[in-house]
Amino acid sequence: MTTAQQAAGSAEAERRAYYDRIRPLNLTPLWESLHALVPREPQTPCVAALWRYDEIRPLLMESADLITAEEAVRRVLVLENPAIPGRSSITQSLYAGLQLIMPGEVAPSHRHVQSALRFIVDGKGAYTTVGGERTTMYPGDFIITPSWAWHDHGNEGIAGASEPVVWLDGLDIPMLRFFDAGFAENDDARMQQVARPEGHSLARFGHNMVPVRHDHVSPTSPIFNYPYARSRDALAQLQRQESPDAWLGHKLRYVNPLTGGSPMPTIATNLQLLPAGFAGRTHRATDGAVYSVVEGHGTAEIGGERFAFGPRDTFVVPSWAPLRLEATAETVLFSFSDRPVQQAMGVLREAFLD
């Protein structure tokens, strides 16, 4: 050992001894962790993952034999990012789960500070009641439960048919946990009184017009069901009338008609169409995103790893992971992310590569 090495070794030993002495005082040296705390670029612990609906559906149906929606309160299989098990998180900031409601069941009324979105994946004829207005669910509908709004779900069927209904829940649960700002309460009644006719919010706010006199002050959109039929129609027309973006295909974001911003203060939502044969270029963004496949087949190449997807599958793209989308058949993807929060903080970054 050289003299220089000996000197370095004893300096290191002195430092360790010093760290040992300051630890009982709840002190730690920044210089040992600075690079990890302030990384050169995002270093998410999360990984890309895909959940195949064909694999999950039988397990979801099995859960209906184990527990009722009433007893479970919400009968949901949580989609956990495989790299951070036990945290009920699909990304660091977002929660996702697949909720099942069987014909005749009720998921009782409650409210919480956490905002929720429902993206209907399978089956029709369930409803959710939000703040006294009911909406019937059809596959592909994007439905919002605003922060602190009473909500109960049920499944009474429609047009004489009744079937299990499954939707993707997206919530800002990890964000609220981060801020330690969560409150929740159960309703006295199992189901809310319906106070307004179905479709009332959409009639008032959903036609590029808003009532001249209204008292909607919440940061969440006054529209709480963005029906698939309408959104899909817009994409079909765009596909006929313009060429797709080389990175995103035909991608529309949902808006709050009162602000032009995202319908939920904490979560952005999008619907995009990839024409058959689409081979997208690579892009990345600091908002990791959750995708639900509505129609079609293709491949998501995430950080170099290829995931083949089909209808009703869910996949997650971690923050800053390069994403390239390909479609073998005409494909429609719903997605959500924490983009509005990053925009409010002025930290959102994205890059369009290739």
- Name the residue among 308, 334, 127, 123 with its Cα closest to residue 232: 334
Q: Using CB under 6 A, pick the residue from 80, 105, 122, 169 that binds ligand GTQ.
A: 169
Q: Using CB under 6 A, pick the residue from 51, 81, 97, 150 that binds ligand GTQ.
A: 97
Q: Which is nearer to ligand GTQ, 235 or 264 (CB)?
A: 264
Left (φ > 0), alpha (ψ -120 to 50) or beta: where does 90 sit?
A: alpha
Kindly state whether residue 321 participates in binding ligand GTQ, applying the rule CB under 6 A. no
Q: Which is nearer to ligand GTQ, 100 or 317 (CB)?
A: 100
Q: Which is nearer to ligand GTQ, 97 or 311 (CB)?
A: 97
Q: Using CB under 6 A, pick the residue from 75, 112, 250, 284 that binds ligand GTQ.
A: 112
Is the separation of the CB atoms in 306 and 315 below 8 Å?
A: no
Contacts of 179 (CB under 8 A, 6+ apart): none
Minimum CB distance to ligand GTQ, residue 171 (Å): 6
- Name the residue among 334, 329, 324, 325 with its Cα closest to residue 310: 329
Q: Which is nearer to ligand GTQ, 111 or 339 (CB)?
A: 111
- Name the residue among 227, 260, 32 with its Cα closest to residue 140: 227
Minimum CB distance to ligand GTQ, residue 107 (Å): 6
Minimum CB distance to ligand GTQ, residue 85 (Å): 17
Q: Using CB under 6 A, pick the residue from 76, 202, 273, 341 that binds ligand GTQ.
A: 76
Minimum CB distance to ligand GTQ, residue 157 (Å): 20
Q: Which is nearer to ligand GTQ, 92 or 145 (CB)?
A: 145
H/E segment holding residue 162 = none
Is the separation of the CB atoms in 134 and 128 below 8 Å?
A: yes
Minimum CB distance to ligand GTQ, residue 25 (Å): 40
Q: Which is nearer to ligand GTQ, 153 or 283 (CB)?
A: 153
Say how far apart CA 42 and CA 35 lie, in whole Å.
Answer: 12
Burial 158-197 (b: 16+ CB within 10 A, else e): eeeebebbbbbbbbbbbbbbeeeeeeeeeeeeebbeeeee
Kindly state whether residue 171 participates in binding ligand GTQ, applying the rule CB under 6 A. yes
> Measured on CA atoms in the order 152, 126, 265, 289, is the torsion positive or negative?
positive
Kindly state whether residue 155 participates in binding ligand GTQ, applying the rule CB under 6 A. no
Q: Using CB under 6 A, pick the residue from 94, 100, 116, 271 that binds ligand GTQ.
A: 116
Tokens of 177: 């946990």
* Chain centroid offset of residue 106 CA: 23
Q: Using CB under 6 A, pick the residue from 44, 47, 72, 74 that binds ligand GTQ.
A: 74
Give the binding-site size for ligand GTQ (rule: CB under 6 A). 9
Q: Which is nearer to ligand GTQ, 169 or 287 (CB)?
A: 169
Query: Nearest residue to ligand GTQ, using CB?
Result: 169
Say how far apart CA 38 and CA 42 lie, in whole Å.
Answer: 9
- Name the residue among 140, 149, 292 with its Cα closest to residue 228: 140
Minimum CB distance to ligand GTQ, residue 76 (Å): 4
Minimum CB distance to ligand GTQ, residue 150 (Å): 10
Interaction site with ligand GTQ (CB under 6 A): 74, 76, 97, 99, 112, 116, 151, 169, 171
